[in-house]
Chain A
Amino acid sequence: DTEVTQTPKHLVMGMTNKKSLKCEQHMGHRAMYWYKQKAKKPPELMFVYSYEKLSINESVPSRFSPECPNSSLLNLHLHALQPEDSALYLCASSQLTSGSASYEQYFGPGTRLTVT
Chain B
Amino acid sequence: AQSVTQLGSHVSVSEGALVLLRCNYSSSVPPYLFWYVQYPNQGLQLLLKYTSAATLVKGINGFEAEFKKSETSFHLTKPSAHMSDAAEYFCAVRRTYSGAGSYQLTFGKGTKLSVIP
* B-binding residues in A (CB < 8 A): 4, 6, 30-31, 33, 40-43, 45, 48-51, 55-56, 88, 90, 92, 94, 96-99, 101-102, 104-110, 112
Contact = CB atoms under 8 A, between A and B. Distances in A.
Given A43-B107, A99-B97, A102-B94, A109 B102 contact: no
Nearest to A88: B41
A98 to B, nearest CB: 8
Contacts of B32: 102
Given A31-B102, A50-B102, A110-B43, A102 B107 contact: no
B99 interface: yes
A48 B103 CA distance: 8
A45 to B, nearest CB: 6
The interface size bin for chain B is 20 to 34
A105 B43 contact: no
Interface of B: 32, 34, 36, 41-46, 49, 51, 90, 94, 97-105, 107-110
Contacts of B42: 109-110
Given A104-B46, A106-B46, A42 B109 contact: yes
